[in-house]
Chain A
């Protein structure tokens, strides 16, 4: 049976992971590659790196991070942040990323989705959607890190990005993001039920039950989490055991590359 995925997400600024991360076992907790290696070892199913560096003039730092990650991590990983052309995507994929994710750039120029899908295949193209449920109940797409309303309906946009070739949707609720109080179930469900591609729920993870709800109630195919794993208080395998106990199919293997060879 296809398992549900737990995806670890790192925000990276100038090659350093932002948001406080305190792993005692790490020599350098700000190094995204070292964190990625640890998460892989701890049983994460997939990783996302979001480059939030203000200036994207110099891509060398990100390329270096992607290359070093591909050297050490043998699970899929996605890279996003400031990618504006299919050549930008190519650079990341050639450096070793399995998928790329685009958000604001896709809203500003939707043809970018199909350009990427035609050149690299839909399986590489993850469209990130930031959405907010407004007081009138409408679900609106936001861009620029959730700061700018677009007037676009989230479900309609989700359908459109899939038509244009997105292979997966990473859906973040601006209502729940950062609160660690649970994912946005109605939004997740509305989008997941509207499209035929996998949907990753994002924003609001605080414990295993939240992830169970996002999958069982929100029909998410994967759950993304940033901060809950970053402090070691919710070990990944503990979360997976709870999810499996709730009837959700999970991958329980952990990568010990030295042991298996």
Chain B
């Protein structure tokens, strides 16, 4: 099941105590890569690809990243336009500020606020929602527009730069589903829990940067 192109990639999955890394690790392995789980900043130095997964609350996430001295290394890594994939809280943590449980400064890599989903629907937004592509990028290679991905979140990213939004899901508003800027990509949905197309997201991202 190992893909020679991907097997040599140094894929780092950042562990900052958010739990349930196993699904992400297995999904990345399933597409043929050999990821390493790491929590020390030095792991970013040699990485070909960094994946920031995550569930839970924004404040905990930022505190965990600070305690592990990962904040500046992540910012520098992304500023150097090296391949980085954020998932769920790993997307929200990239934003300027999160309103979840007060105001919490985040990594400020992507400009905009993390805000509560609009009232009137069940929260959390939980389940398989249809993802509409705003533009075609390699991340969604081989995935039909309108495919379903698994979401579970109560806050979403209100992006200051709409051009960075590559896909949205309708849930009372156009929820940011995927963003891309250079070699940074991030999804609000969980690709590791989104069946075959979810795995394809990981495969697409890794293949895109294996060639670079």
Contact = CB atoms under 8 A, between A and B. Distances in A.
B17 to A, nearest CB: 11
A167 B126 contact: yes
A74 B130 contact: no
A2 B129 contact: yes
Interface of B is mostly: mixed
Contacts of B169: 2
Interface string A88-107: 00100111111000000000
Contacts of B195: 40, 74-75, 253-255
A167 B55 CA distance: 13
Contact of A196 (B56, B123, B147, B170): B123
B186 interface: no
A244 B130 CA distance: 14
A167 B31 contact: no
Nearest to B89: A121
A76 interface: yes
A1 B130 contact: yes
A197 to B, nearest CB: 6
B27 A5 contact: no
Nearest to A168: B126
Nearest to B171: A2
Interface stretch (B36-44, B74-82, B148-156): B148-156
Given A121-B56, A260-B196, A261-B203, A93 B20 contact: yes
B1 to A, nearest CB: 9
Interface in B132-157: 142, 147-148, 150-154
Interface string B197-212: 1111001000000000
Interface residues of B, number: 44
A75 B122 contact: no
A120 interface: yes
Given A1-B129, A196-B122, A98 B31 contact: no
B20 to A, nearest CB: 6
Contact of A94 (B19, B31, B55, B128): B19
A260 B142 contact: yes
Interface string A166-191: 01100000000000000000000000
A91 to B, nearest CB: 11
A120 B56 contact: yes
Give the one of B128, B147, B192 with max A CB within 10 A.
Answer: B128
Contacts of B30: 74, 257, 261
Contacts of A257: 30, 196, 199
A70 B23 contact: yes
Interface in A232-261: 249, 251, 253-257, 259-261
Interface of A: 1-5, 40, 45-46, 67, 70-71, 74-76, 90, 93-98, 120-124, 167-168, 196-198, 221-222, 249, 251, 253-257, 259-261
Interface of B: 19-20, 22-23, 26-27, 30-32, 55-57, 121-130, 142, 147-148, 150-154, 169-171, 190, 192-200, 203
22 contacts: A2-B127, A2-B171, A3-B130, A5-B127, A70-B22, A74-B192, A74-B193, A74-B194, A90-B19, A93-B19, A94-B20, A95-B22, A96-B22, A98-B20, A121-B55, A197-B124, A221-B127, A251-B128, A253-B196, A253-B197, A260-B142, A261-B196
Given A2-B171, A198-B126, 11 more contacts: A40-B195, A70-B26, A74-B193, A93-B19, A94-B22, A121-B56, A123-B55, A124-B55, A198-B127, A261-B196, A261-B200
